[in-house]
A = this chain, B = another copy of it.
Amino acid sequence: MRYSDTHKQETRKKVVKAAAKAVRLRGPEGVGVAEIMAEAGLTHGGFYAHFPSKEALVAAAIEEAFRASAQRFEKLTEGLDAPAALAAFADAYVTPEHRAHPERGCPIAALSSDLPRQGPQVRAAYEAGVRGLIRRIAGWLPTQEPDRESLAASLVAEMAGAVALSRAMSDAAAAGRWLADARARIKSRMGFDAAGSQS
Interface of A with B (CB < 8 Å)? 26-27, 29-30, 102, 108-117, 123-124, 126-127, 130, 147, 150-151, 153-154, 156-162, 164-165, 167-170, 178, 181-182, 184-186, 188-189, 193, 196-199
Contacts and interface: CB of A to CB of B under 8 A. Distances in A.
A109 B113 contact: yes
Given A154-B185, A185-B151, A123 B198 contact: no
A147 B111 contact: no
A98 to B, nearest CB: 12
Interface of A: prevailing SS: helix
12 contacts: A27-B114, A30-B117, A111-B113, A112-B167, A113-B113, A113-B114, A113-B164, A114-B114, A153-B178, A158-B161, A159-B161, A188-B198
| Total identical chains | 2
A102 B114 CA distance: 12
A169 to B, nearest CB: 6
A154 B164 contact: no
Question: 9 closest Cβ contacts across the A-B interface?
Answer: A161-B161, A157-B161, A158-B158, A112-B164, A113-B113, A157-B162, A29-B29, A150-B181, A116-B167
B158 A157 contact: yes
B30 A168 contact: no
Contact of A189 (B109, B160, B198): B198
